[in-house]
């Protein structure tokens, strides 16, 4: 078996050989046990790859979509994107007892939101702060000083609207990559949104609110 | 509380042929979208492959990868190369975002589940964690390949290009392409025990 044969065996395992080279490899492994064993070893490696990483490639325009999302933010940043408001806000739905030190005002190029909510941490998570904003059918939530969730837990975002008769509705889960998080969620439908809440949920737990909140806030009307 | 620092888009000096990941992260923190593009070109296929394996849905996986690079753009200033490699940082972000997307689906019971979570049964936390762990292990092993080997292997594995097509794309001799692919697979084979990669084809 030559070095070129060995190279072709790797290509055969990946399925990237030309028809002629594939025919050469087929003839080789039929008569050479060492070549057959090496091909099988390469196939095991490729199978391990496929078990963890799909053999797919994203659309060609995906990076353009990334740029489209960051460029408005960067443009706003020059104005700048985040401003401090001197007003104090009352704590949110699940954070009535929390002390709010300030309000971060969202401004990300979407224009004025339909409603805003100052978000503050509960007593246990008093360092958490941020703001929620409603834009049509979307909720944008920005949080600062978010701790990593306890092991085996994640955070869930809920909204409360008049039409739901007091029932909280989950709009999405997240695990923060950093202490600052910017999240966008699709709202469950049109309505009069009154509050937003972020809960601490056990992984694989029931669909209901755990009654343990990280932070929350009430929307202005 | 501190004001969130978002990088403004700037153009720095052109990137040389190969820049270390950590330097790219530094340039991204300074607002260099060329550096973001370079990091995207280097790892988007692997990250997409991880997200797709976990989510089983092309659109969700693309949304996930998009979120990853937006997060990288916004958080690069806080990345600390002394604490973790850039690849570790990226794989953690994509894992978290893919798992969150899956949780959103399982909690919104009206949404159909991806195909790999077959039978309509919601995957439990252990299943999700096991799949995510496998994806991270494979991606970490890939990240240990020398860049030239990772490049040709990615073109073969993700793009399905032939040896000759890869040679034309990279403007290198076809023998170089063949050799790099073989070396990449052999290197991955030696890394399999370290990352507990599956070693059976199931055939």
Tokens 């070893």 correspond to A41
The mean pLDDT value for B51-74 works out to 92
How many whole angstroms separate alpha carbon A183 and alpha carbon A176? 10
| pLDDT per position as a tens digit, B29-44 | 888 888 899 999 889 9
Q: Could you give the C-alpha distances from A193 to A106, B38, B107, B181, B202, in angstroms and in order? A: 18, 42, 21, 56, 52
Tell if the CB–CB gap between A177 and B93 is shorter than 8 Å. Answer: yes
Per CB-CB distance under 8 Å, the chain A contacts of B163 are: 11, 16-18, 21
Q: Is A64 helix (H, G, I), strand (E, B) or coil?
A: helix
| Residues ≥6 apart with Cβ < 8 Å to B180 | B148, B149, B151, B152, B153
A172: which strand partners?
A157
| pLDDT per position as a tens digit, B59-70 | 999 999 999 999
pLDDT for residue A82 is more than 90: no
Are B9 and A74 contacting, i.e. CB atoms less than 8 angstroms apart?
yes
pLDDT of residue B128: 75
| Residues ≥6 apart with Cβ < 8 Å to A53 | B46, B49, B50, B53, B135, B138, B139, B142
| pLDDT per position as a tens digit, A85-94 | 222 222 233 3
Tokens of B103: 């949780």
High-pLDDT (> 90) share of chain B, %:
30
| pLDDT per position as a tens digit, A163-213 | 777 778 888 888 887 788 888 888 888 888 988 999 888 887 777 788 788
Q: Which of residues 56-115 of B touch A (CB under 8 A)?
A: 58, 61-62, 65-66, 69-71, 73-75, 78, 92-93, 96-97, 99-100, 103-104, 107-109
pLDDT for residue A40 is more than 70: yes
The mean pLDDT value for A10-36 works out to 93
Are B53 and B135 contacting, i.e. CB atoms less than 8 angstroms apart?
yes
- CA A148 to chain B, closest CA, distance in angstroms equals 12
Q: Identify the closest residue of chain A to B68 by CA–CA distance.
A: A66
| pLDDT per position as a tens digit, B113-171 | 555 544 545 566 677 778 888 888 898 898 888 888 988 999 999 988 888 899 998 89
Tell if the CB–CB gap between B137 and A170 is shorter than 8 Å. Answer: no
Share the mean pLDDT of chain B.
80
Tokens of A187: 């709202």
Share the mean pLDDT of chain A.
78
Higher pLDDT, B8 or B29: B29
- CA A51 to chain B, closest CA, distance in angstroms equals 7
How many whole angstroms separate alpha carbon A69 and alpha carbon B69? 10
A154: which strand partners?
A201
How many whole angstroms separate alpha carbon B162 and alpha carbon B146? 20
Q: How many CB pairs under 8 A join A and B?
A: 221
Tell if the CB–CB gap between A46 and B58 is shorter than 8 Å. Answer: no
Interface confidence: ipTM more than 0.90: no
Q: Identify the closest residue of chain A to B66 by CA–CA distance.
A: A66
A197: which strand partners?
A158, A216
Are B142 and B46 contacting, i.e. CB atoms less than 8 angstroms apart?
yes
Q: Pick the most confident of A7-16, A98-107, B27-36.
A: A7-16
How many whole angstroms separate alpha carbon B57 and alpha carbon B51? 9
Q: Which of residues 109-168 of A touch B (CB under 8 A)?
A: 129, 142, 144-145, 152, 154, 156
pLDDT for residue A98 is more than 50: no
Are A187 and A94 contacting, i.e. CB atoms less than 8 angstroms apart?
no
- In this structure, of A15-19, A91-95, A148-152, the range with the lowest mean pLDDT score is A91-95
A157: which strand partners?
A172, A198
Confidence of residue A112 (pLDDT cuts 50, 70, 90): confident
Per CB-CB distance under 8 Å, the chain A contacts of B36 are: 66, 70
Question: CA dihedral in degrees (B140, B142, B144, B147; nearest 10)?
Answer: -140
pLDDT for residue A99 is more than 90: no
Per CB-CB distance under 8 Å, the chain A contacts of B202 are: 47
Q: Does A13 touch chain B (CB under 8 A)?
A: yes
Of the partner residues B8, B52, B109, the one whose CB lies closest to the CB of residue A78? B8
pLDDT of residue A134: 93
How many whole angstroms separate alpha carbon B160 and alpha carbon B149? 15
pLDDT of residue B123: 61
Tokens 């490699």 correspond to B85
pLDDT for residue A127 is more than 90: no
pLDDT of residue B189: 93
């Amino acid at each position: 078996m030559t070095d070129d044969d060995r190279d072709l065996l790797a290509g055969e395992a990946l399925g990237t050989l030309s028809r002629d080279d594939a025919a050469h490899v087929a003839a080789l492994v039929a008569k050479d046990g060492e070549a057959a064993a090496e091909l099988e070893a390469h196939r095991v490696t490729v199978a391990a790859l496929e078990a963890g990483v799909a053999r797919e490639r994203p659309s060609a325009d995906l990076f353009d979509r990334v740029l489209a999302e960051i460029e408005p933010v960067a443009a706003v940043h020059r104005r700048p994107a985040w401003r401090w408001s001197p007003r104090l806000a009352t704590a949110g739905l699940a954070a009535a007892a929390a002390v709010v030190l300030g309000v971060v005002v969202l401004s990300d190029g979407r224009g004025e939101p339909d409603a805003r909510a100052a978000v503050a941490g509960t007593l246990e998570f008093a360092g958490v702060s941020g703001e929620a904003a409603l834009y049509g059918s979307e909720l944008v939530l920005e949080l600062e000083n978010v701790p990593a969730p306890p092991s085996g837990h994640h955070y869930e975002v809920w909204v409360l609207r008049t039409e739901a008769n007091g029932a909280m509705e989950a709009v999405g889960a997240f695990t923060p990559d950093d202490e600052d998080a910017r999240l966008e969620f699709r709202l469950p439908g049109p309505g009069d949104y009154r509050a937003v809440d972020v809960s601490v949920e056990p992984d694989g737990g029931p669909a209901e609110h755990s009654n343990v909140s990280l932070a929350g806030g009430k929307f202005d009307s | 509380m501190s004001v969130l620092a978002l990088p403004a888009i700037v153009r720095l000096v052109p990137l040389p042929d190969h820049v270390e990941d950590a330097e790219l992260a530094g340039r991204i923190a300074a607002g260099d979208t060329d550096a973001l593009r370079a990091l995207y070109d280097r790892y988007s296929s692997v990250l997409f492959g991880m997200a797709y394996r976990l989510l089983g849905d092309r659109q969700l996986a693309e949304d996930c990868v998009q979120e990853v690079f937006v997060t990288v753009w916004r958080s690069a200033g806080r990345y600390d190369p002394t604490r973790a490699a850039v690849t570790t940082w990226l794989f953690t972000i994509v894992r978290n975002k893919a798992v969150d997307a899956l949780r959103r689906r399982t909690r919104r019971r009206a949404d159909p589940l991806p195909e790999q979570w077959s039978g309509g049964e919601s995957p439990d936390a252990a299943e999700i964690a096991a799949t995510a762990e496998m994806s991270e292990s494979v991606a970490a092993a890939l990240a240990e390949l020398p860049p030239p080997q990772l490049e040709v292997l990615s073109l073969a594995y993700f793009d399905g290009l032939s040896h000759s097509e890869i040679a034309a794309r990279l403007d290198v001799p076809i023998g170089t392409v063949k050799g790099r692919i073989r070396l990449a697979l052999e290197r991955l084979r030696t890394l399999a025990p370290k990352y507990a990669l599956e070693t059976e084809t199931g055939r």
